[in-house]
Amino acid sequence: MQIERAELFQVPLELREPFESSAGAVHVRSILLVALSGGGITGWGECVAGETPHYSPETTETAWAALTERLLPTIRGTTLTVDTEAIEHHWTRFPGHPMARAAVEMAIWDLDAKRRGVPLCIALGGQQKPVAAGVSIGLQRDDDALYRRVEGFLEDGYRRIKVKIKPRRDIMTLRGIRDRFGNIPLIADANSAYTIGDMTVLREMDDFILMMIEQPLAPDDFDGHAQLQERLLTPICLDESIVSLDDAERALDQGSCRIINIKPGRVGGLARARGIHDLCRERDVAVWCGGMHESGIGRAHNVALATLPGFTLPGDISASRRYFEKDLVTPEWELEDGSLTPLEAPGIGVEVDLPRILELSVRRSTIG
Ligand code: OSB
Ligand code: MG
């Protein structure tokens, strides 16, 4: 069936609290939504590019250009489905822009699953089952503010806490959390704020029995991460470094990490994310689903992906409330027993609030 129409919306959504990492603070998410329609059905995808080129070179602006000038015009009128080979072949004409491409690819997954009448989790090869939710907490004004956040999220039932760290906002903070909250499942995410010269302080973190340290060094520093992993007891988890299946293979071959955070946006879509999952599963390496402050649409894709069997650790998949005053989907994503569960309805399962998206959109492009 043909993809008759492609639409792109830019929807600014204010975060309920600004999110600060070693890369800076985010107040408003400029969410890009892709809607692909054919035969009376619409599939939805979300682009996770940030407002600034900190986490990755892509931004809302580069993604907008890639989508409107190349990706959407060439998708419209095709009969592409999630048959991975044909799509992969299509993408070879458009190198780069993984986050923009992922938004299109996810919309195709949703469209296909809706046509077939199956939930996205099933279409991907997962199960319709709850997935354990963790929460990622940004850098706070001071440690007391952070401890209050940790306490609140533990009360909400989150199964694991992740905190952002950077040089001089690390050892004391982590010790403070351990002193107050005991043995909770805890991750420290550095977003590349350290160098191999920080070996001593990174090794001190072994005292805190973290589940993992996420992305301590620069994204391209596979050797440095391998050296560090050799001297750390704490598993290293890579996020920014893993943009492709080749990156994942290289990281595992070199011993640069023991865990991978998979984000479909970062790696160019759900099929590629699943490919990295499959590789890790073969090698007995645990993976978990990362987050990029998605709306309920991107979250639905992440939740579906996280039902694959290799996602054995809680994801950065939190309830709608954790991020936004009001989400773009109904029902909103809610925590139940520390988990989110994909709905039984076809595709992403949640209903997209189109009137609200139209009302909030600051930019819109229609092709077809
Ligand atoms: O490094 O995992 C990260 C958000 C935006 C960009 C990068 C990261 C994050 C988060 C938040 O940690 C995860 C979430 O709750 O969506
Ligand atoms: Mg990270």
The band of 92, judged by pLDDT with boundaries at 50, 70 and 90, is confident
Q: Quick one: which ligand is closest to 259's CA?
A: 2
Q: Each residue of 337-368: pLDDT tens digit?
A: 999 999 999 999 999 999 999 999 999 999 98
Count CB-CB contacts under 10 A for residue 155: 8
Domains 5-117+351-367 and 123-340 share a fold: no
Ligand 1 atom nearest 189 alpha carbon: 1
Ligand 1 centroid to 135 CA: how many Å? 9
The band of 313, judged by pLDDT with boundaries at 50, 70 and 90, is very high
Ligand 2 centroid to 209 CA: how many Å? 19
Question: pLDDT value at position 210?
Answer: 98
DSSP single-letter state for residue 160: E
Active-site residue set: 164, 263
The band of 310, judged by pLDDT with boundaries at 50, 70 and 90, is very high
Q: Alpha-carbon distance 103 to 8, whole Å?
A: 10
Count CB-CB contacts under 10 A for residue 209: 11
The band of 89, judged by pLDDT with boundaries at 50, 70 and 90, is confident
Q: Is 290 in the pocket of ligand 1 (CB under 6 A)?
A: yes
Question: pLDDT value at position 23?
Answer: 83
Q: Alpha-carbon distance 71 to 63, whole Å?
A: 10
Ligand 2 centroid to 204 CA: how many Å? 20
Q: Quick one: which ligand is closest to 162's CA?
A: 1
Q: Alpha-carbon distance 110 to 120, whole Å?
A: 6
Tell me which CATH code domain 5-117+351-367 carries.
3.30.390.10
Ligand 1 centroid to 182 CA: how many Å? 24
**Topology (CATH level 3) of domain 123-340:** TIM Barrel (3.20.20)
Structure tokens at 20: 């600060």
pLDDT reading at 88 higher than 90: no
Indicate which residue's Cα is closest to atom 4 of ligand 1: 292
Ligand 1 atom nearest 240 alpha carbon: 1
Comparing 85-89, 119-123, 153-157, 311-315, the range with the smallest average pLDDT is: 85-89
Cβ distance 144 to 172 under 8 Å? no
Indicate which residue's Cα is closest to atom 7 of ligand 1: 292
Q: Is 189 in the pocket of ligand 1 (CB under 6 A)?
A: yes
Q: Is 42 in the pocket of ligand 1 (CB under 6 A)?
A: no
Mapped onto helix, strand or coil, the DSSP state of residue 183 is coil
Q: Is 292 in the pocket of ligand 1 (CB under 6 A)?
A: yes
Domain ranges of the chain: 5-117+351-367, 123-340
Q: Is 327 in the pocket of ligand 1 (CB under 6 A)?
A: no
289: left (phi over 0), alpha (psi -120 to 50) or beta: beta
Whether this model's pTM surpasses 0.95: yes
pLDDT reading at 24 higher than 90: no
Q: Alpha-carbon distance 257 to 239, whole Å?
A: 10
Q: Alpha-carbon distance 191 to 68, whole Å?
A: 30
